[in-house]
Amino acid sequence: MSADKLVYIIKAGSTFPDMAAEQGDFEDWIISGLGLDVALLDVVDVENGMELPDISSVSGAVITGSHAMVTRNLHWSLSLETWTRQLVLAKIPVLGICYGHQILARAMGGTVDFHSQGTEIGTREITRLPAGGQDILFKGLPERFKGHTVHSQTVTRLPDNAVLLACNSFEPHHGFRIGDSAWGVQFHPEFSVRAMEGYIGHMADTVRQEGQDPEKLIRDLDNTPEAAELLERFGRLAVGN
């Protein structure tokens, strides 16, 4: 890693204010998961108007989740799509999480819309597909692993050159790769059980309206250590770029 380059966390949104006060925000969870020296990291709050860095200064980037919707085509979000495409074309490692996963897909020609079945939320079992077994990030995962999820939008069509790495019965595109250095994951490797419980609590009315039982979702929560390892592996990859 060049001394003048950093791993950037592109902050596309924030968690609920009470959760941020008690547990930290998305960028804090990602910093913890990456396991890198904080001197190698910087946070860019793109949702609140911070300027995206010149790609020449980027060793790697993680694009966070957001409570915004990709299909709203917000100005900052469209700018982020353009910037993300530049990263991919420059073969700079990038990991998109949830909203970031959808941004990556759209940046490279895929499509995003609301999921036809509503919201996926809670700890879910995810399947690593055969291509994932050959992937530098996913090959350390078991064939079945647990991941925390909360999303109502989805990548409805992957980019033409994407490699599908993971799915489950609800979400057909839980993980994909573009080229050799860009990954999107719909699940949240940075979430803890406590964070997931907080989301279910905040969204209890919504999930009830969709026919889900928030109390059962909370009872079924579990740790997701295999999913969390993706962040650490990406951190090592980004520093080594």
Positions annotated as catalytic residues are 98, 188, 190
Distance of CA 105 to the CA centre of its chain: 12
d(CA 10, CA 46): 7
Q: How far apart are CA 172 and CA 236, in angstroms?
A: 28
Long-range CB pairs of 202-210 (<8 Å, 24+ gap) are 202/16, 202/19, 203/119, 203/121, 203/150, 206/119, 207/119, 207/121, 210/118, 210/119
The single-letter code of the amino acid at 10 is I
What is the C-alpha to C-alpha distance for residues 71 and 73, in angstroms, rounded to an integer? 5
- The 10 Å Cβ neighbour count of residue 146 is 18
Q: In what order do the strands lie in the sheet with 94-97?
A: 41-45, 6-11, 58-63, 94-97, 182-185, 175-178, 162-167, 120-128, 144-151
